[in-house]
Structure 1
């Protein structure tokens, strides 16, 4: 029985993910991707037409994964802040080490030379910011945190998380979970303190 195309594409995109983690955007080839998933280079070309088209489709897939992760977090039973932290932690769950993280991140950095890839990266970042702001507003409404400048807190949190991933390169003996916990502790401590006074 033939598998649905959606499943095949998901398997292919996981192959793209693994190839990016191992080689980085500039070095990952279609052959590297086919080594990660049970598909021939000819079938990959027939499905997507080019490496660029494959990466554009992968970008769309990652955007949808991001949207899904935040939507799930927005209906979870835990606090909005804990749910938000879970999204960030889950996003890097399969990164084995800082090298894999740096290699995969190169997709977003080096891909800026392609206007279409850059636009997809911007769309994903805007989506992340939008969901963070929504969750912060819900946290304020639920009295989990004090009133605050939501856009600023969102920017600072994103900057802290991005910085934590860079620090992991310098301090690989620590885990991203620990580094992310520190980010949330420092960013939200003043807001938690206000609500508990």
Structure 2
């Protein structure tokens, strides 16, 4: 290899990245919600983050490489989100409500929900993307079960509650709530998720517990 070319490559490798991969991947998630599968291109993501498409090719290789990296980031952030909401709420059930709502970030409109749903349908038919989608689903399932177990230990839930069954129901109901909301468009997605979660938990909640609400939630 030409010595000067090698020197330039080594300098480029040593130079700090002006835009971190995580910033690019979160921009890709925004483009997903805005444009759907057909509109998600390296050029569209590059415009969103203020780079040239060639930079994304260097980082991720292709659109598929970008999608795989985004899926890996989603799996990691599913664990991080659980830890954060648990720190922010004294009550495990309040943390569960926050987790349910924040996990749907980026799907505030029926159109953005539909676009993300279209990507999920693609994930289900692609072995590598399916593996990562399953990892996210399982991470959230563990988080829901852990928060319910904490709630039971703290007396927020009735004694004898079948936590495993309740955790499965919570995941199923919250997944279906998004689709129902996108169809009937009543209220916001966050409101619908909390409404359906409350309905599922209500028969199991001890009388001494009541969900705390911030001023913005009550208004």
CA drift of 1:6 comes to: 9.4
2:64 maps to 1:61: no
How many residues in Structure 1 have an aligned counterpart in Structure 2? 195
Task: Tell me, yes or no, if the aligned pair for 1:24 and 1:106 is still in contact at 8 Å.
Answer: yes
Match of 1:162 among 152, 163, 175: 175
CA drift of 1:148 comes to: 1.5
For 1:25, what is the secondary structure of its paired residue? helix
Long gaps (5+) in structure 1: none
CA drift of 1:115 comes to: 0.7
Match of 1:77 in 2: 89
Task: Tell me, yes or no, if the aligned pair for 1:144 and 1:195 is still in contact at 8 Å.
Answer: yes
Match of 2:143 in 1: 131
CA–CA separation in structure 2 for the residues paired with 1:62 and 1:49 = 19
After superposition, residues 99-110 of structure 1 pair within 5 angstroms as 99-110=111-122
Match of 2:36 among 24, 27, 50: 24
| Structure 2 CA distance for partners of 1:47 and 1:23, relative to 1, 3 Å | same
CA drift of 1:95 comes to: 2.8
RMSD: 2.1
CA drift of 1:7 comes to: 5.2
CA drift of 1:194 comes to: 6.8
CA drift of 1:15 comes to: 1.6
CA–CA separation in structure 2 for the residues paired with 1:134 and 1:33 = 36
Match of 1:177 among 190, 193, 205: 190
| Structure 2 CA distance for partners of 1:171 and 1:123, relative to 1, 3 Å | same
Match of 2:21 in 1: 9
CA drift of 1:34 comes to: 1.4
| Structure 2 CA distance for partners of 1:33 and 1:58, relative to 1, 3 Å | same
Greater than 2 Å deviation, 4+ residue runs: 2-7, 73-78, 91-96, 193-196
Bigger Rg, structure 1 or 2 = 2
Task: Tell me, yes or no, if the aligned pair for 1:19 and 1:32 is still in contact at 8 Å.
Answer: yes
2:189 maps to 1:191: no
CA drift of 1:102 comes to: 1.4
2:59 maps to 1:47: yes
Structure having greater relative contact order (Cα 8 Å, sep ≥ 6): 1
* TM-score of the pair, normalised by structure 1: 0.90
Task: Tell me, yes or no, if the aligned pair for 1:59 and 1:121 is still in contact at 8 Å.
Answer: yes
Task: Tell me, yes or no, if the aligned pair for 1:161 and 1:180 is still in contact at 8 Å.
Answer: yes
